[in-house]
Amino acid sequence: MNAIISASELASHLAGAHPPVLLDVRWQLSMAKATGEPSFDGRAEYAAGHIPGAVFVDLDRELAATPGPGGRHPLPDLVEFGAAMRRAGVSAGTPVVVYDGGQGWAAARAWWMLRWTGHPDVSVLDGGLTSWQGELSTEVPEPAEGDFQPASAAAGLLDAEGAAALARSGVLLDARAGERYRGEVEPIDRVGGHIPGALSAPTTDNVGSDGRFLPAEELAARFKALGVSDASTVGVYCGSGVSAAHEVLALAVAGIPAALYVGSWSEWSSDPSRPVAVGPDPQ
């Protein structure tokens, strides 16, 4: 099982006798309230054209619960998540390929959710829809009900206490932009800065100018330079557990297992009693 798949490989698999289930998870971090611009509508983008056979998955409604004390994108109820995945045709014995508009964050969140809940074969389309050279379709498929039954697991998941402990005992990576890590700007959350001990590792540095992941050996070298070794226990957080999933995916491409702090900074910073570090120094 490969964590990522190229557009040419996907086209070949879709034309084969046993095509994968294809999920379209187009989503963007909305700054509409701050800028006055219309909110991004992933479903409308899907309706305007998608890879033939793809089923739309709504990140905010199906890959996350309602925002609250647990952050902007807390874990969804697993019963509801499983039902959504089965409606999309997901079965345990069928490969799943996930894509988004090209940024890769939303697709990585879907990849992480399915992998964390036990699906054995999930890949992300490297480069997203922008890498797809084939025709697009406006036809909405009606897949047969899948049989996937998600199972929760402690491994691979961090809470606030676990993230704080890992920042001291292992390697905790902050996948947000450097200026948010340093606390120079904070457009969304209550306060800027980072979890004390966390290292700045913007997820944008995991990809090239074409939006595709760097080769595995380059990613491995990047994380090694950040202090990740074969003996390291690694965790990742971001603003709300979306772009951090992309970093977990990049680590997987490099052959490095990592846990995700789903609540991320939106949960951490909501509690004034939690410590906040600012500036380039992890501490």
Q: Show which residues are catalytic.
A: 238
Q: Are 171 and 165 in contact (CB under 8 A)?
A: no
Tokens found for residue 102: 């090209």
Q: Are 162 and 195 in contact (CB under 8 A)?
A: no
Name which of 21, 11, 18 is nearest 54 in CA terms.
Answer: 21
Q: Are 123 and 95 in contact (CB under 8 A)?
A: yes
What's the distance, CA 39 to chain centroid? 20
Position 176, amino acid: R
Cα-based distances in Å from 32 to 35, 41, 277:
5, 11, 28
